[in-house]
A and B are shown apart, each in its own frame.
Chain A
Amino acid sequence: MKHLIQLTINSRQYEVAVEPRKTLAELLRNDLGLTGTKIGCSIGDCGACTVLLDGIPVFSCLVLAMEAEGREVLTIEGVADGNLLHPIQRAFVERGAIQCGYCTPGMVLNSLALIRHTPRPTEEQIRRALSGNLCRCTGYQKIIEAVQEAAEMLQAAEGGQ
């Protein structure tokens, strides 16, 4: 029995009919063609499916679509402005923080939330914030460096205004 729900995804209003058992990850990937959110384990162990729910990083594989009703979701597709990359994305690209890329959407979104919450995160804070996002390719080093660089760029931009 499907329910009609409304939610905002990447600043766009959606109205969708979902069964209660549909997870937010399934809704995004299977129904809305937003495949940037990845599935690594589907039980909340790897963080590949991270999205921001009202600005907070969550496992979309463990959030029912119905629980996201009336709320705002940000997926990786909503981070860049067209082809203009967000500073965090630029930093990831320039610093070599991307190898296979599968953990990247989750890392970018989680980092975005971190910097909004803590504009000047220390290395320790960055490692802690990302400790639920597994990466098997990079050893995290360049990801940490990218987040630090992005935080500095964003701080500088703020300061300049």
Chain B
Amino acid sequence: MSYRVLNSRVPRVDAFDKVTGRAQYTDDLTRPGMLYCAILHSPLAHARIVRIDTSRAAQLKGVKAIITGRDVPDVTFGVSPARYDETILAVDRVRYVGDEVAAVAASDLETALEAVSLIEVEYEELPAVLDGLHAMEPGMPLVHEKYARNLCAEVHWNFGDCDAAAKEADLIRTDTMSSKMQDAAFIEPQAVLAETDGAGRLTMFSSTQAPHYIQRTLAMALKLPLEKVRVVKPAVGGGFGPKASCSTAELVTCMLVLKTGRPVKMTFDREEVFLHSRARHQFFHTMTTGVKKDGTLLFLRHHCILDGGAFASFGIATVYYAGSLLGGPYRLKNMIYDGYRVVTNKPACGAQRGHGAVIARACFETQLDRIAEEIGMDPLELRLKNVMGTGETTCNELYMSSLGMRECLEAVRDASGWRQNRLARRSEATPPLPPPSIEGAEDSGKGGEGKRRGIGVACGFFVSGAGYPIYRSTTHHATVVTKVNELGGSVIVESGAADIGQGSDTVLAMITAEVLGIDVADVKAITGDSDLSVDLGAYSSRTTLMAGHAAKEAAEACRDRILASVAKRLGVEAADLYLEDHRVKSRRGSLDFHSIREEFSREHFGFTDLPADGELTFREAARVAFLDCGTIVGTGSYKPPKLGGSFKGATVGTSPAFGCSAQVAEVEVDLATGEVSVLKVTGAHDCGFAINRTQVEGQMQGSVSMGMGEALMEEVHFDGRGNILNANLAEYKIPTSLDVGQLNAIIVETIEPNGPFGAKEVGEGAIMPTIPAILNAIYDASGVRITELPATPERIILTGKEETE
């Protein structure tokens, strides 16, 4: 199928504003008379709040309001209704360094910060639990009384028959992988500007991924009627997950607005971004996998503990995803999963790109490589042997309505020169890391000597939108309202969908333009405002598929109404008409539309750009439809069908579609220092159908660079008292332009039947293979197996040393 607009590289609709500095992000917004909010954070990981004295702070000139745990409504909230455990401010206890104790609104930021430092708090420190791996042991301090053993969610699944499968296995391996808490490190910190109007309506502008969920949380936590709360998302500088849940900044700012009657603004300092976190959990995985000697996968026993910090946040979903997304993309009939999501006295973790499945995938894909080595099989061939295809279902009842896993693997195999590389290697033995003293003195320190290259492969897949909303509801997941301009010629698409940089506005505009036969330039997407329509937001890689469906439906409704109008006017069958290239055409030859054109000319007497020749234009048709019917509006909505099995937790991991990805990473390891250069990553991703090819590539490349950071350099360091030691972007290291090598992106299109025009996700599936591909390449280069992330130079050297001793 060839399309006019779809599958092209049309520039993003918001690129002009972003490249000229005109795009408005939340911190760019101001209101006359606005106040500034600052938050008082706990310096202790676990303590009882004995007493708070705000009197000195209140006396400071310019302070307008101060709130503490005493003032907040008596409501607990969170992400998942099954685990509401948060209050707007700490009420009687602080549970992590950074926990929010008080908030001040003042006439300027300086005064607000000064006031915060004048609030006196008396704490009674309590023993803290900081080690997630041992948090469930008896005698550990409890973070929340209601979470016995500090366990806030657990999963126990048993599919097929692992014991029987184990008997058939020729090789059974047990391997582990652990990681650290990581941060999303979006470049724009959370920011909020909120105000009320004369009718008591609260409007909050916020750097958020999910206006709808945030609107609900605000209304619930502040005890406001939903219809009085509006959340608007301006331009957002990256989200990656942590911005999908309501933050304290949002809640206290709104509370202070209600208290003072004035607009209030708050922007997180970078350090606060770390203290707030809601980013990637820390994982401890143990996997036991059995195969036959021909490489057929037989079973997987998977045990996982996730440390999610002080609150549940997205944690229930996380612990489910960690297990459910190992059901594919390989045929695996037998799988046991025991997952434990614990709480500790550290900043709470939530959802971050790829959610709970990323580190699990890293463990499994590196284990596959070890298996391949033991049975003497090429690791890529081992994967090809086991991949699922379109139409298959995983043991945990995830149905692959399309799955181009084989195509992706073959694409990266061929594009990366995998076979030649492996052939060249088989003749060399993979060296263990030599102790430095035998290093050749020819080493000029510039490279060449002492460095070795390696190549590694991995796969992964991810949902294209969660099958169920976070709250128990039969709500539509995405709705779109599209209005044809009454004057004809252009179209406005309105949606609550959130473009956080992934390009969803462009996708909606492109789909609309395609259906109506017009250009993207004729479509304006107005989005991210809870007033416009319900959309669950940008998380679980859902927007293209779900909002895309709704946009397509809305555009088709507009199209149908326009064509019906024209058909009636011209006395032809509406079914014979179609829109193409800004024109209305008939399948039955030419149309006699002179009456419409004459009327249009008459109406526009004096205009100089009237359509003179050629077929009836879209502009004329749209105008005529308005004249006859009034404003032409089309609505669209999308709700996934009932998905998944009937077992407990079956819903998490379900999706109307699954995107998948394969990557080959080429690295160079300095055998003496452990420094790793990622020279090239060749990735292939099955996105079903690329609505915008450039954007799909961009998402693939961004995913890889984030995965690279998480593999090699990202970790949040804590000291023994729960303080974050590296709450800044100098010490929390994300890759710079010198750290990221060539990123080749290959698009695979399987045309997903459940996706609009066949499209499905790319935003999170593409991060799945990255960490294991790099780890496998490091092993290929150096003989070192990393089982604890990140694979810093030190870890590579010291692990190598252990292995040779």
Binding site for B on A (CB under 8 A): 29, 34-43, 45-46, 48, 75-77, 79-80, 85, 89, 92-96, 98-105, 108, 126-128, 130-144
Contact = CB atoms under 8 A, between A and B. Distances in A.
A97 to B, nearest CB: 8
B114 interface: no
A11 B408 CA distance: 51
Contacts of B147: none
Contacts of B19: 76, 85, 89, 92-93, 98, 101, 104, 108
Contacts of B21: 34-37, 75-77, 105
Contacts of B500: 100
B616 interface: no
B503 A89 contact: no
A102 B15 CA distance: 11
Interface string B677-719: 0000000000000000011011001111110000000000000
9 tightest Cβ-Cβ pairs between the two chains A and B: A36-B21, A100-B501, A102-B237, A101-B18, A139-B705, A96-B694, A76-B21, A139-B701, A35-B28
Contacts of B270: 40-43, 45-46
B235 interface: yes
Nearest to A146: B19
B237 A101 contact: yes
A122 B74 CA distance: 60
Contacts of B15: 92-93, 98, 101
Contacts of A105: 21
15 contacts: A35-B21, A45-B730, A46-B729, A76-B19, A80-B20, A100-B186, A100-B237, A127-B737, A131-B737, A134-B185, A136-B184, A139-B701, A140-B701, A141-B743, A143-B737
Contacts of B702: 99, 136-139
B502 A99 contact: yes
A39 B269 CA distance: 9
Contact of B705 (A75, A89, A140): A140
B278 to A, nearest CB: 16
Given A38-B25, A38-B188, A39-B27, 9 more contacts: A36-B21, A40-B188, A43-B270, A93-B15, A99-B702, A100-B186, A101-B17, A131-B736, A134-B185
Contacts of B28: 29, 35
State the majority secondary structure of interface residues on B: loop
A133 B16 contact: no
B701 A40 contact: no
Interface string B20-57: 11111101100000000000000000000000000000
B728 A45 contact: yes
Interface of B: 9, 11-12, 14-25, 27-28, 184-189, 235-238, 240, 267, 269-270, 500-503, 694-695, 697-698, 701-706, 728-730, 734, 736-738, 740, 742-743
A104 B17 CA distance: 11
- Most chain A beta-carbon neighbours within 10 Å: one of B15, B187, B695: B187
Contacts of B189: 39-41
Given A77-B20, A98-B12, A138 B698 contact: yes
Nearest to B237: A102
B728 A136 contact: no
Contacts of B22: 36
A136 B737 CA distance: 10
Given A85-B16, A128-B738, A134-B736, A101 B23 contact: yes
Given A41-B270, A101-B501, A135 B695 contact: no
Nearest to A108: B19
A128 B237 CA distance: 23
A138 B745 CA distance: 12
Contacts of A101: 14-15, 17-19, 23, 235, 237, 501
Contact of A137 (B9, B25, B698, B736): B698
Contacts of B9: 96
B737 A102 contact: no
Contact of A100 (B11, B188, B694): B188
Contacts of B701: 138-142
B187 A99 contact: no
Nearest to A76: B21
A9 B187 CA distance: 25
A124 B782 CA distance: 26
A38 B502 CA distance: 19
Contacts of A100: 186-188, 235-238, 500-501
Contact of A102 (B16, B238, B728, B730): B238
B18 A98 contact: yes
Contacts of A135: 187, 737
A72 B187 CA distance: 27
A95 B15 CA distance: 11
Contacts of B503: 99
A43 B236 contact: no
Contacts of B187: 38, 40, 46, 48, 100, 102-103, 134-136
A76 B737 CA distance: 21
Given A41-B270, A99-B501, A136 B27 contact: no
Contacts of A136: 184-187, 238, 240, 702, 705-706, 734
Contacts of A85: 16, 19-20
Nearest to B189: A40
B134 to A, nearest CB: 33
Nearest to A39: B27
Contacts of B267: 39
B697 A140 contact: no
A96 to B, nearest CB: 4
A11 to B, nearest CB: 15
Nearest to A40: B187
A99 B736 contact: no
B589 to A, nearest CB: 40
A98 B11 CA distance: 9
Nearest to B739: A131
Contact of B742 (A40, A93, A141, A143): A141
A17 to B, nearest CB: 16
Contacts of B14: 101
B724 to A, nearest CB: 15
Nearest to A137: B702
- Most chain A beta-carbon neighbours within 10 Å: one of B17, B19, B736: B19
A84 to B, nearest CB: 10
Nearest to A102: B237
B706 to A, nearest CB: 7
Nearest to A37: B21
A104 to B, nearest CB: 5
A139 B740 contact: yes
Contacts of A142: 694, 697-698, 701
A105 B20 CA distance: 7
A79 B706 CA distance: 30
